[in-house]
Structure 1
Amino acid sequence: MKTLELDLTPSGSLSIECVVNGPIETNSYFVGSAGKWVVVDPAWDGERLVEHFKQAHPADELLGAVCTHGHADHVGGVAGVRAALDGGALYALPAKDGEVPAKNIAEQRSMWGIDAPSPGEPTRLLSEGDSVAVGDCRLQVIEVPGHTPGGVVLFAAAENGNVAFVGDTLFPGSHGRTDLAGGDEAAILRSLSKLARLLPPDTVCLTGHGDSTTMARELMQNPFMQM
C-alpha cells in the first residue's frame, strides 16, 4: 500500500469563515479562493447558510458542500445547500462513510430527538489522496477512521498558511467520541498518529465543534497523540 504524501507547496490564498449552527453547535466553514467557495460540514438549515454566503459574497460562486464525515450534525444542511443552489451543487462525502448518514440520522433522532434531513446521494466520494479544487487552492484528503469508519481530514497548503479541517477526529487535548455506531477507539488513535506524521507543526486545525488548535500545540499537550 502506497504511503500518503501531502503536497506542501503553497497554492493560492485561502479565505475561511466559520458559522456555528445546528442543535449541537457545529462549526461549518466557508472556504474560498479566487472567487470559488465550498462549505465544509454544513450542519443545519442549508438554505440559510447559502443566504448568508450570498449576502457576504455576492460576486462569488458557492460550489457546494464537502463533508469530513457522515454524521447528521455535519451533513444536516447538505440538502438545503443543494436546493438553494438549484440542486446540481457538489456534495462530497468520504467514500467509506456512504451508509453513515442514514444510520446516524436515525441514531440522533432516537438519542436526542434531533430530526436532520437526509443529505441525499453524494455527487462525489472522497478517498485517500484525492483533492477538491477550490479556486487556486486544493483540499487534500486524508483518511482518518475512528470517529466514523471513513472520516477524513481536509488539508490545504495555502500561501497564507497551512490549515486542516479535522472534523470530529481531533480536539484540543483530546479526540472525537468513538461510542457512536461505527466508532473505533483503536482506529482513531492510529489516525491521530497519522496526522502527527503528516501535518506540519504550524498547521491550524479547525475542529468540528468548539475551539481550533495547532498541530504544534497538540503534539506537545495532547496525551492521545503520545500513544
Structure 2
Amino acid sequence: MMMKLYSILRLGLVLLALGTGLIACQQPVVKPAPQETAQSAMQAAKDAYQRQDFNKAAEWFRKAADLGDAKAQYNLGVAYNEGKGVPQDFGQAAFWFSKAAEQGIPQAQNNLGFLYKQGQGVAQDSSKASEWFRKAAQQGFAQAQHNLGLAYRDGEGVKQDRGLAVLWLQKAAVQGDEQALADLNQLKTSAKGAKKSSSTAKPAQAPKKKAQAPKKAATSSTSTPKP
C-alpha cells in the first residue's frame, strides 16, 4: 500500500514537473528592442524637417551623424551654420562639415572651403579653402567650380592663373551657374580691354570691381536634407 501510494505521488510529481515545463515553453519570447540605425534616424530627421520642426530634425541629424552617416553630418553642419534648430555656431558647423567632407560629400567640402576662406569657425586659410574647393569641383559641384575659378582669378590660396580661372568658371557656367557666367564674361572683357589699352596707349581704365567673395553652396543644397 505504501509503495503504491509512493508510486502515485511520484507520478503526480512527474506530471507536475511536465506541466510546469509546458507552461514555461508557452511563455512569449521577449524580443530585444530594435537598435536605432543611421537610416532610421535620417528618415526621422527628414520627416521632422518637412514638418518644419527644426529642433527635432537637428536632434535626429545628430543621432545619425554620431552613427557615421555622412549626409547627416553635412545637414547637421548646415543646421549649425544657419542656426536652424540649434544655436548658430560656426565652429560646430566646420566640425561637422569636416566629418562629411572627409567622406566625400561635395557640398560639405565646398562649405568647409568657404569657412576657411572667411575664417569662420576655423583659422582663415586661403590655401585650405582652395584645396576643399578643388575636391568638390573635381566631383562636378558647380558652386565649388565657381569658387575655384575665383581663387585662380584672384590668386587666393593658389598661384594666379587666368587660364585655369576661365576653365573652372566655364565648367560652372555650363551647369547653369549664372553668376559664374557673369564672372567669366567680365574676366574675358577685362582681358580684352587690357590688350586694347596696351596697344593703343589709352589712359588707364578705372579700377576693376572688387573681387567677389566665394559663395556658399546654393540654398537648395544647404538648407534642406539631402535624399
The TM tier, using the shorter chain, reads under 0.3
TM-score, normalised with respect to structure 1: 0.26
Quick check: which one's strand share is greater? 1
Q: Larger Cα Rg: Structure 1 or Structure 2?
A: 2
TM-score, normalised by the number of residues in structure 2: 0.26
Richer in helix (by share) = 2
